[in-house]
Amino acid sequence: MKISKESRRRFVLGMQGLWPGRRWKGYDGIRVAIQNCRIIRVDPLDVVGQAHDLALLSRVTDYQRRDLDRLLYEDRAAFEHGGAVSIYPRELLRLSWSWVKNEGLPLRWEKWFAANESAVRKVKREISSRGPLDAGEWTEGERVENYRSSKLEGLALYYLWRHFEVMIHHRENNRKFYDLTERMFGRLPEPLSKESTLDEAALETMSRLGMSGQEGLRYLKTGEEGRGRPVLTKRQLRQRLVDNGSLSEVEVEGETQPSVLRTDALKFLETVAAGEVPRPWRSLSDEDEAVFLAPIEVTIANRRSQVLFDFEYIWEVYKPANKRRWGYYVLPVLCGDKIVGRIEPAFEREEARLRIVRAWWEQGADISHAALPFARGISRLGRFLGARSIVMEDVGPPKFKSAVKREVHPSEE
């Protein structure tokens, strides 16, 4: 099968619930979105909502943080885990547990445990007898130098969590409280075999990407220690999934190497390649609306923005101000299946004021047609934040700015 780059882009966005528009709504929509996306990255930085808020706001009509909290901490339909913390559907608990059981944590953490086993056992006993605790419980704990925690007991909590002996019970602001896994999710099932774990984890990774070429190899885990895992091993792992029929190869115009996708998703790709929208993907509204992609979205992270959109995106929030090319917290603007620009938003909480500090538009983008979708997207972001006013600053030519201001609600000050 040979497809255009446009079909690939639409397929990847559609598999992630970002094209042609929002098709999920409310609490149930959050649950289905997480099941479809397979992973929602978490980041505590809150400029105009945290990264996971922005990701779900882009996909779910009427998204509310309290609904996500209910799903995570009351209904336990999803869980948070990983060195780079992410939200996963509950159905992936066995696979995640199997990976840790078969492969362990990075060697440095297993060495740490060998030297601090008594502290780990002590922390687990405390949680077992007293219920959910956070690292702040041990105010007199032993001080350590580690970016994960400044206390030995905090590192012990982290180790127990990564080993699935405890899980996040709830959060209070950004403080994580942990309880025994079996008290929240029941006894974990028997782990998969080592080979099944490798294959299932690889297939899961390919599912998250939707479709990927050579750039997708970097996401695969092979069970080999360190960052320099051989590319050959990853290619062999992916090829094994092609050979057994789990993945299928397609040609993308202009590229010499094939891309892969889940075989059971071919029916969606065929529909997209025919210029149509798969029935399950149809949006709840016919109105065009721009969405603002979260900085660590799977569709743009790790330079995938260049592959899919020919769009250069670098998250510069941790760069010194004088080294930033754009701004502090900059979000790509997705209109339909194209990224047309980027904005730097800011939310002044005391005044409940959303400011769009600046917009950068891509060369060749017809922003006159983007004014109404852009205004709708800004209005939705304002409603989510509870903004009483929205201020447009350097967002484009006067005519475009005026058109946006007429449509934005609440009205600009």
Residues 76 and 195 reside in one and the same domain: yes
Whether 230 maps to a domain, the answer reads yes
Q: Which residue has the higher pLDDT, 193 or 107?
A: 193
pTM exceeding 0.85: yes
User: In the chain, how long is the greatest CA-to-CA distance?
Assistant: 67
pLDDT of residue 230: 78
What is the count of structural domains for the chain?
2
pLDDT cut 90: percent of the chain above it: 87
Residues 301 and 377 reside in one and the same domain: yes
**CATH number of the domain within which 360 lies:** 3.40.630
Q: Does residue 60 register a pLDDT over 70?
A: yes
Whether 380 maps to a domain, the answer reads yes
Whether 165 maps to a domain, the answer reads no
Whether 144 maps to a domain, the answer reads no
Whether 11 maps to a domain, the answer reads yes
What is the band of 242 on the pLDDT scale with cuts at 50, 70, 90? very high
- Contacts for 384 with CB less than 8 Å, ≥ 6 apart: 49, 53, 57, 63
Which residues form the domain of 77? 2-93+191-281
Average pLDDT of the residues in 237-246: 97
Residues 304 and 270 reside in one and the same domain: no
Residue type, 175: R
What is the band of 213 on the pLDDT scale with cuts at 50, 70, 90? very high
Average pLDDT, the chain: 94
Average pLDDT of the residues in 50-70: 98
Whether 136 maps to a domain, the answer reads no
How many other CB atoms are there within 10 angstroms of residue 252's CB atom? 20
Residues 74 and 211 reside in one and the same domain: yes
Residues 369-383: tens digit of each pLDDT: 999 999 999 999 999
pLDDT of residue 139: 80
Residues 204 and 253 reside in one and the same domain: yes
Residue that is last in its domain, among 258, 281, 304: 281
From 95, 71, 257, select the one nearest 170 (Cα to Cα): 71
pLDDT of residue 225: 55
Q: Find the DSSP H helices in 251-368.
A: 266-273, 304-309
Residues 15 and 86 reside in one and the same domain: yes
How many other CB atoms are there within 10 angstroms of residue 310's CB atom? 12
Residues 267 and 352 reside in one and the same domain: no
pLDDT of residue 221: 87
Residues 319 and 196 reside in one and the same domain: no
Residues 58 and 199 reside in one and the same domain: yes
What is the band of 222 on the pLDDT scale with cuts at 50, 70, 90? confident
Residue that is last in its domain, among 281, 307, 337: 281
How many other CB atoms are there within 10 angstroms of residue 175's CB atom? 10
Whether 336 maps to a domain, the answer reads yes
User: DSSP 3-state helix, strand, coil percentages of the chain (rounded to 5)?
Assistant: 45, 20, 40
Whether 286 maps to a domain, the answer reads no
In the block, tokens 């992973």 appear at 39
Q: Does residue 112 register a pLDDT over 50?
A: yes
Residues 84 and 195 reside in one and the same domain: yes
Residues 263 and 299 reside in one and the same domain: no
Alpha carbon of residue 39 to chain centroid: 6
Q: Does residue 114 register a pLDDT over 80?
A: yes
Average pLDDT of the residues in 115-136: 96
Q: Does residue 223 register a pLDDT over 80?
A: no
pLDDT of residue 413: 46
Residues 303 and 386 reside in one and the same domain: yes
- In degrees, rounded to 5, the angle at the alpha carbon of residue 81 between the alpha carbons of residues 77 and 86 is 80
pLDDT cut 70: percent of the chain above it: 98
pLDDT of residue 411: 55
Q: Which residue has the higher pLDDT, 26 or 140?
A: 26
Residue that is last in its domain, among 251, 281, 311: 281
Residues 332-363: tens digit of each pLDDT: 999 999 999 999 999 999 999 999 999 999 99
